[in-house]
Amino acid sequence: QKEVEQDPGPLSVPEGAIVSLNCTYSNSAFQYFMWYRQYSRKGPELLMYTYSSGNKEDGRFTAQVDKSSKYISLFIRDSQPSDSATYLCAMVGGAQKLVFGQGTRLTINP
Amino acid sequence: NAGVTQTPKFRILKIGQSMTLQCAQDMNHNYMYWYRQDPGMGLKLIYYSVGAGITDKGEVPNGYNVSRSTTEDFPLRLELAAPSQTSVYFCAAGYSGNTIYFGEGSWLTVV
C-alpha cells in the first residue's frame, strides 16, 4: 500500500466551478500536509501547508485536513483557466521526508 | 521558485556514462531533497539531507549517490547510467519540513 494515495484524474471542469481535490494517507506519523501546483515542464510550487485538523483558507484556495480519517482536501473556488495544472499533495513525518501523492491533472475549461 | 538552482537543465547521456546533477540554494536552508518524476507520475524521493554532512536514502536510491559537504550544495551523482534513469530530476530545499521549495528541474535522457 502506498503511503499517500491520490486520484490522478484527469479532472475537467467549467470555469467558475468549485474544484475538490483529495488525498488519503496511511502513515499516522505524518505531521505536515502540503499542496503543490505544477505547471507543465516546471517545478512544483508550494500552494498551502497545514499541520492540524481543520480548514485553512488562502484566497480562492481552502485546505482541509481530517487526521482521524487520514484524509486531506484542497478546494478551489471560482476556478480559472490559469488554475489548469497538476496538483500534488505532500506530507511530512518525523524523519522530515516529504512524500508525494501521484498528482491530479486539472483542466479548467473557459 | 525561491533560490534553488539546478544545472544542467537538459542532458543526454549514453548508457554506462556517469554525471553529476548540481543543486545549489542561497537560502541557508537545512533540508535538501532530490526527487525524480516520470511522465504522468508523482515525485519519488531519491535522497535527502537534514544538514551538512548528513544524508539518507529515500524511496528509489539505487544507481545514485549524494553528498552534502556544505549547506548550500547537494549534488546528485549518477553512476553507470541506465535507460531507466531517464526522467526529470527536481532538487528542493526548505528551512523546515513544511516549507520546501523546488528548483526548475533537470531533464535527463539516457540512450
Q: What pLDDT, in 10s, does the model give residues A22-62?
A: 999 999 888 889 999 999 989 999 999 888 888 999 999 99
Please give the average per-residue pLDDT across B5-34, as a whole number.
Answer: 95
What would the grid cell of residue A13 be? 471542469
Peptide bond into B75 cis (omega under 30): no
Chain A, 55 to 74: residues with Cβ < 8 Å from chain B are none
Contact B102/A97, CB-based, under 8 Å?
no
Mean pLDDT estimate for chain A? 92
Closest residue of chain B to A49, computed from CA coordinates? B98
Residue B68 backbone phi and psi in degrees, to 5: -145, 80
Chain B residues within an 8 Å CB radius of A2: none
Contact B100/A34, CB-based, under 8 Å?
yes
B99: confidence class by pLDDT, cuts 50, 70, 90:
confident
Closest residue of chain A to B91, computed from CA coordinates? A43
B39: confidence class by pLDDT, cuts 50, 70, 90:
confident
* A45 contacts chain B (CB < 8 A): yes
